[in-house]
Amino acid sequence: MENFSQEKKSSFDRIIGRISEEEAAATWKEAEETFNQQDFEALIAFEKEKTEKELLILSEINEASNAWRRKYGLEDFDIPPQNTHIIKKEVWPYKKSGGYFKPGQQASLIKETSVPLVFAARAFHEMIHFKSYGAIQKTFDENSEREYRTGLSLSPRTKAKQVALKEEIGVPVYFQSLNEALTEECTRQYVQSQAKNLLYSSETEETTKTKEWAKRNNKEALLDENIYYAKKIPETEEIEAEAFAYPNERYTLALLIDDVLEKNPEKFKTRDEVFDVFARAMFTGNMFELAHVMDKTFGKGTLRKIAKYMPKEK
Ligand SMILES: [Zn+2]
């Protein structure tokens, strides 16, 4: 198997597959051009122009997400504002999610919102995908197709295996749940560190007020710590709220971390140290440490089982 890497000019760190050096060079060039050229004709009608505040937020979260890379020994990888596209909410196509990272387009798509903190959370999550380990992989099939690895999530290398995996767990990708849990956990830590950021002061205040009201009125659901933004509309008494995504996946990750910590007291002293093993694998693409810790804690082959884990929806 050939393995190509070069200086980072797009989300991709590697090209994996049976291709010539010329093909690899052309693929790198194409990725770099896509990263730099973000005027997609197909998007123009759907895209919303960014406000000054949104531009400022993008610059702040670019910095904050670089800090995660540095933590795991990686260089900064700056994402210019043009690579985040805000899509008008009326035409947003994904029901379950407020953001989408598209490696093939080197772009994050974010659903329009009037709440800056919600925009920040959505854009941060996609930026973590953008800055996690990225690879272009060719399938082993005859008409070798291009697949992507983003962080931990990866596609099987043949179409037949992808179809079989999709039938088995609902998505044709391994480690989807773990990758999303880790990405949203990074996002949660960012949002919770912003309580004093003036960019978000109005929604922080609104959320505190609304949660106090919820406490007085026994609205338990609103007190869930996953809810990071809540507002009561005065006229209608309706509640507008946003919660951190992938609660089931993050719950499972937390259980895993607790177990690893408990069973390896000589190796790990805190939950954060265990979290780092997972997150380091997502950012650097190096799975050895994670595989070793999993096998040692839970027995050989555990990582394979986790690769296929998809939580049932509540
Ligand atoms: Zn995601």
Based on the domain organization, do 198 and 154 belong to the same domain?
A: no
Instruction: Tell me whether residue 116 is in a domain.
Output: yes
Based on the domain organization, do 91 and 62 belong to the same domain?
A: yes
Instruction: Tell me whether residue 132 is in a domain.
Output: yes
20 Cα to the center of ligand 1, angstroms: 32
216 Cα to the center of ligand 1, angstroms: 35
17-31 residue pLDDT tens: 888 899 999 999 999
Q: pTM score > 0.85 for this model? A: yes
22 Cα to the center of ligand 1, angstroms: 33
198-245 residue pLDDT tens: 999 999 999 999 999 999 999 999 999 999 999 999 888 899 999 999
Instruction: Tell me whether residue 139 is in a domain.
Output: yes
Q: Which domain holds residue 287?
A: 247-307
Based on the domain organization, do 155 and 252 belong to the same domain?
A: no
Based on the domain organization, do 12 and 155 belong to the same domain?
A: yes
47-85 residue pLDDT tens: 999 999 999 999 999 999 999 999 999 999 999 999 999
Based on the domain organization, do 38 and 114 belong to the same domain?
A: yes
Number of domains comprising the chain: 3
Based on the domain organization, do 258 and 200 belong to the same domain?
A: no
Strand pairing class (146-150; 134-138)? antiparallel
Q: Which residue is associated with the tokens 């697949």?
A: 147
Query: Among 171, 190, 209, which residue terminates a domain?
Result: 190
Based on the domain organization, do 232 and 282 belong to the same domain?
A: no
Based on the domain organization, do 296 and 215 belong to the same domain?
A: no
Of residues 219, 38, 189, 81, the one with CA closest to residue 125: 189
108 Cα to the center of ligand 1, angstroms: 10
Based on the domain organization, do 86 and 213 belong to the same domain?
A: no
129 Cα to the center of ligand 1, angstroms: 7
Instruction: Tell me whether residue 314 is in a domain.
Output: no
63 Cα to the center of ligand 1, angstroms: 19
Q: Which residue is associated with the tokens 């990750």?
A: 253
Q: What is the chain's mean pLDDT, rounded?
A: 93
